[in-house]
Amino acid sequence: MTALPDFAPAIPEIVLAVASLALLLVGAFKGDGSTRLVSWLGTAALAVVLVLVWANTGDKALTFGGMFIADRFASFAKCLILIASGITLVISQDYLKLERMDRPEYAVLVLLATLGMLMLVSANDLMSLYLGLELMSLSLYVVAAFRRDAVKSSEAGLKYFVLGALGSGLYLYGASLVYGFTGTTSFTQIATTVGNGPSIGLIAGLVFVMASLAFKVSAVPFHMWTPDVYEGAPTSVTAFFAVAPKIAALCLMVRVLVGPFGPLVDQWQQVVVFISLASMILGSFAAVVQKNIKRLLAYSSIGHVGFALVGLASGTEEGVRGVLAYLAIYLFMNLGTFACVLAMKAGGRMVEDIKDLSGLSRTNPLMALCLAAFMFSMAGVPPLAGFFGKLYVFMAAVHAGLYALSIIGVLASVVAAYYYLRVVKIMYFDEPAEAFDRGQSGVIRFVMAASAVIIAIVIPLALQPMTHAAQAAAATLFLG
């Protein structure tokens, strides 16, 4: 008789899966009137799971035949993902009601996508990785097209689905090559085989796997879906896309490359350097001409992925620490920015053009101040948190001898500062446009203000605890 696996390391995922199914039943029996109830219960479930993840942080544990791993790296990533998903659910409620999309399945899909992300960062096998990847992706395809009566939303969902299927196909082909040349799908055994000497077929498989993961993080040249999906999807969905799945996919990329393929660092490093450079350059220059705030943030997110990959390109523990610290800062910068975008409502309708922010400092000074803080932070202006995120990844690259990558990254950051500061200029120096509607959600105002305080004050004053946690998480991957 086969012994049952140890369920303890996977308790957070199990709780979230049960909560998702229970809320699906609540929504089915109570109908559309239960949307707010399901959303708040979903947020509570994410909070409970966050506590469980925090309590479960400790020594490395393997279960389910070695396919699932719980360690400090996974716990750090899961905390960021759960915070992002919970806040996104909270700030989405008024927007969903305004756009007549307040249906309970929205919250359930967010929870299921989050479950897939948690499984991703704890994957220790190519098969369990694929399971988490598809659970996340299938949920995201649906929420991208959640506004069923809008052509743009349907188009966004279709584009994301078609290109997502391509990404999954690339992953499966790469995984099959890796399996064929190593005889295993286990990360631990792959690392052992790779350490004994790689083959050309194995390296080819790694390239396909990396291409798939680059699609999930929207790194150049696999970024083509990002601007259209960000613009076409409902704004609350775009806020979700910009943070939680991005963090999950980047952490997965770090685990896959540093873990099973760590001995191949000389092979994958040059690929990561290329996609990092390409993402920083395209993200910086393409955003300059954007007039829609969501498309601007789409190219901004591509640029930020490039900056985060600078840390991974170093292939060192310091670099991984930099990536994790960067993602923690990125989380609050983007959630705060999208809280501001969700507050852009004039005449009872949502507006998205950058010119709609004209003179915002005179019509809504608090929102203008918060958005300015986020723009300055994304540009990397000290002493805001965004400066330290870029400092950590660039220093890791310099210490790894990647001087050209660091120099080009700094120059790309200077170019990117132009379009961030242009938003600030429009808010503070242009003549006021139509004033945004008053009476914005108290939750959105709170998230906006709290994120600004975290970016401007809390993180700069609490850098040591944050970097210590990131260091402990990064060290887990290099202990073998």
pLDDT in tens, the chain (480 residues): 456 777 778 888 999 999 999 999 988 888 777 888 888 999 999 999 999 988 877 777 888 888 888 888 889 999 999 999 999 998 888 888 877 777 888 889 999 999 999 999 988 889 999 999 999 988 888 888 887 777 878 888 888 888 888 888 999 999 999 999 888 888 888 888 887 777 888 888 889 999 999 988 888 888 888 888 888 888 888 888 888 999 999 999 999 998 888 888 888 888 899 999 999 999 888 888 888 888 888 898 999 999 999 999 988 889 999 999 999 999 999 999 988 888 887 776 777 788 888 888 888 888 889 989 999 999 888 888 889 989 999 999 999 888 899 999 999 999 988 888 998 898 888 887 777 766 667 788 888 899 999 988 888 888 888 889 888 888 888 875
How far, in Å, are 120, 126, 256, 263, 385 from residue 190 at the CA level? 18, 10, 11, 10, 38
Q: Is 115 left (phi over 0), alpha (psi -120 to 50) or beta?
A: alpha
Q: What is the pLDDT of residue 1?
A: 47
How would you classify residue 100: left for phi > 0, otherwise alpha for psi between -120 and 50, otherwise beta? left
> Helices 200-216 and 265-286: crossing angle, nearest 10°?
30
The H or E element spanning position 68 is strand 68-70
In 287-364, alpha helices (H): 293-314, 317-342, 360-363
The confidence score (pLDDT) of residue 277 equals 92
Task: Give the model's pLDDT for residue 480.
Answer: 55
Measured distance CA(205)–CA(172) in Å, rounded: 9
CA distances from 44 to 11, 39, 96, 205, 237 (A): 16, 9, 19, 41, 19
Amino acid making up residue 250: L
Burial of 162 (0-12, 13-18, 19+ CB in 10 A): exposed
| Distance from C-alpha of 69 to C-alpha of 255, rounded to nearest angstrom | 11
User: Which residue do the tokens 């799945």 mark?
Assistant: 245
- Beta partners for residue 123, in sequence order: 68
How many whole angstroms separate alpha carbon 318 and alpha carbon 475? 9
Q: Where are the alpha helices (DSSP H) in 146-199?
A: 151-182, 187-195
- What is the domain partition of the chain in residue ranges? 1-260, 266-480
